[in-house]
Amino acid sequence: MAQFFEFESDFVESLRCIPMQIRMKLDTCGIKLKLPQWNQFSQSDRQLLVDLPCETESDVEIYRTTLQGLVRERTGVEASTLEIDSSPAWIDATTIPTSVQEKATELGAAISPEQWASLTPLQRFALIKLSRSSHENRNFLPALQEFKLV
């Protein structure tokens, strides 16, 4: 089932930006999708990528193949691939990544190990992505608030 966050609400209806659940699927299947490529997709293409599961090994392969086909059909180029992390940080409920701890501290917040463990993998993924220095992280605090961490 599709899950969108409140901090994504300004673009979820139109899917004009890539939502966190899709970003997690991209990392899971090893495809790098740029926003200009995403913008070449139709609304039904985007909805398909929201709806397609990407959890089992079979799901991941189908998702990767479908996404590669869409990128090729809509943009005329091959999708870039990423190395797939066999044990991504968002799956580990016991270790809070340094980037998340540092970003929380910067905002005057602290995330306890118990709080981190209580988050869903998608919530942990979102905090990891939003805490990276290379990411526009204006949604980090709204995410902390939405996940009831502050």
pLDDT digits (tens, 9 = 90+) for 79-107: 999 999 999 999 999 999 999 999 999 99
Measured from the Cβ of residue 6, the count of other Cβ atoms closer than 10 Å reads 13
The rounded distance, in Å, linking the Cα atoms of 143 and 150 is 10
**Nearest CA-CA partner of 9 in 136, 109, 143:** 143
Q: pTM for the complete prediction?
A: 0.92
pLDDT at 53 over 90: yes
The rounded distance, in Å, linking the Cα atoms of 110 and 80 is 36
